[in-house]
Amino acid sequence: MADAPSTGSARRVALWLVLLAAAGTFGLTMGTRQTMGLFLGPLNTSTGLGLAQISLAFAFGQLFWGLTQPFAGMFADRIGAGRVLLLGIALVALGTFITPWMDSTAGLVLSIGVLAAGGAGMAGPAVLMAATNRLVAAERRGLATGIVNAGGSLGQFLMAPLAGALLVGMGWANAMQVLGLCVLLALPAAFLLKGHGGPIVSAGAPVQGTGAAVRAALREPGYGLLAAGFFVCGFHVAFLATHLPGVIAACGLPVEFGAWSLGMLGLFNVVGSIGIGMAMGRWRMKSLLSLLYASRALAVLLFVLAPKTGPVVLVFAAFMGLTFLSTVPPTVGLVVKFFGLSHMATLFGLVMLAHQIGGFLGAWLGGKVFEWTGSYDVVWYVDIVLAVGAALVHLPIREAPVQRAALA
């Protein structure tokens, strides 16, 4: 009996190590990906391909980040997270490092869209959050998910100014390669998380295959509505991450404001992610999601109408940061509430795929609309309409476990 307190303390330390490993991995991969908008102009100048063609490569990055997550989640559900994370981290580093040597649209699609973004999907939230949710009591899962999610945001906050400083001090090509090498710092986390996977089955419960779980989820209306809302989230996030520095440059503000705007998105999303994780224990998750999307619509409308000064840009970035990836914890929470933990990485990975299809459109249309009109205004108005729609689409969701009979 004397060993019980020390055993409990050791478990808490082990849990925090896992949470920090997952948050750190997400911070390095997400932080690197979310700074790529700073390199849009230099890539355009260096390659001469045009903003639309380079935006297409970034858009494919959004799509492949989503496409890899259901499959990465499927493997993590079966064999554990470690090997999946190891490969993903290596691909992010490789894709980022070789990007400066690419001078064609196809080359940029390969390096940014397939290697770096696909690797980030393998080391992304579907795998990381499934690994941590398996270790945490049900009442603490929202907070744990918020902590991991905040790691991605903190990575963005720290790496965006670093990328801006490297870009000014070393040139864009060297700066991008240094960021690629920084991703390798996440490799030890793959070993810490290697054992946290495999299916969870309650005693006496029938074993459900992955295919059956996916088919059952696709038949559930609430799951479809959740994916539709997350599609809109992807549009928002990708447009801001890819084009906010360009929006700021078009306003005649220095490049430092572009870097700090991305940093503000990341910093305030740390607050938003942890806050929303705590709020999940008090309010319905679907209501929190509706509130987040409605807040985005209002913030974008006010930004469109406001004068584009440095302080306005930073305040806008800070407010959007509060909602930027704060949609992730309640979305994860609803997937777990609907279907449990056994196939959580796979089923959340599919929702992330919807998110990244929206991200593809947000990144690509931003560049295309600017090329057509010389302005981002049309995209901002589309953004507002989509945000209002996302706020409404969550209201009919029935926030309750799906009956086991429906999963057969």
Tens digit of each residue's pLDDT, the chain (408 residues): 445 555 656 666 767 787 888 888 888 888 888 788 778 888 888 888 887 788 788 878 877 877 887 788 778 777 777 788 889 999 999 999 999 999 898 999 999 889 998 898 888 777 887 777 776 666 677 677 777 877 777 777 788 778 888 888 888 899 999 999 999 998 888 777 765 444 444 444 445 666 777 888 888 888 999 999 999 998 988 888 778 877 888 877 776 787 788 778 778 887 887 888 788 878 889 999 999 999 999 999 999 898 888 888 889 988 988 887 788 888 988 988 888 777 777 888 888 888 888 888 888 888 888 888 888 889 999 999 999 999 999 999 988 787 654 444
Residue 6 domain-assigned? no
Predicted local distance difference test score (pLDDT) of residue 201: 44
Domain extent, residue 289, equals 21-196+210-407
In this structure, what CATH number is given to the domain that contains residue 128?
1.20.1250.20
Predicted local distance difference test score (pLDDT) of residue 205: 45
Residue 260 domain-assigned? yes
What is the Cα–Cα distance from 35 to 263, expressed in whole angstroms?
9
Predicted local distance difference test score (pLDDT) of residue 11: 66
Predicted local distance difference test score (pLDDT) of residue 139: 66
Closest residue by Cα to residue 164 from 249, 255, 237, 247: 255
Output DSSP code: residue 206. Answer: P
Residue 7 domain-assigned? no
Q: What is the DSSP string of 137-203?
A: -GGGHHHHHHHHHHHHHHHHHHHHHHHHHHHHHH-HHHHHHHHHHHHGGGHHHHHHTTTS-S----T
The number of domains in the chain is 1
Residue 5 domain-assigned? no
Residue 203 domain-assigned? no
Predicted local distance difference test score (pLDDT) of residue 161: 78
What is the Cα–Cα distance from 330 to 289, expressed in whole angstroms?
7
Taken as a whole, the chain contains a residue count of 408
Residue 2 domain-assigned? no
Predicted local distance difference test score (pLDDT) of residue 391: 94
Tokens of 299: 């913030």
Cα–Cα distances (Å) from 33 to 3, 155, 187, 315, 404, in that order, read 45, 10, 17, 22, 39
What is the Cα–Cα distance from 323 to 269, expressed in whole angstroms?
7
Residue 216 domain-assigned? yes
What is the Cα–Cα distance from 234 to 134, expressed in whole angstroms?
26
Residue 4 domain-assigned? no
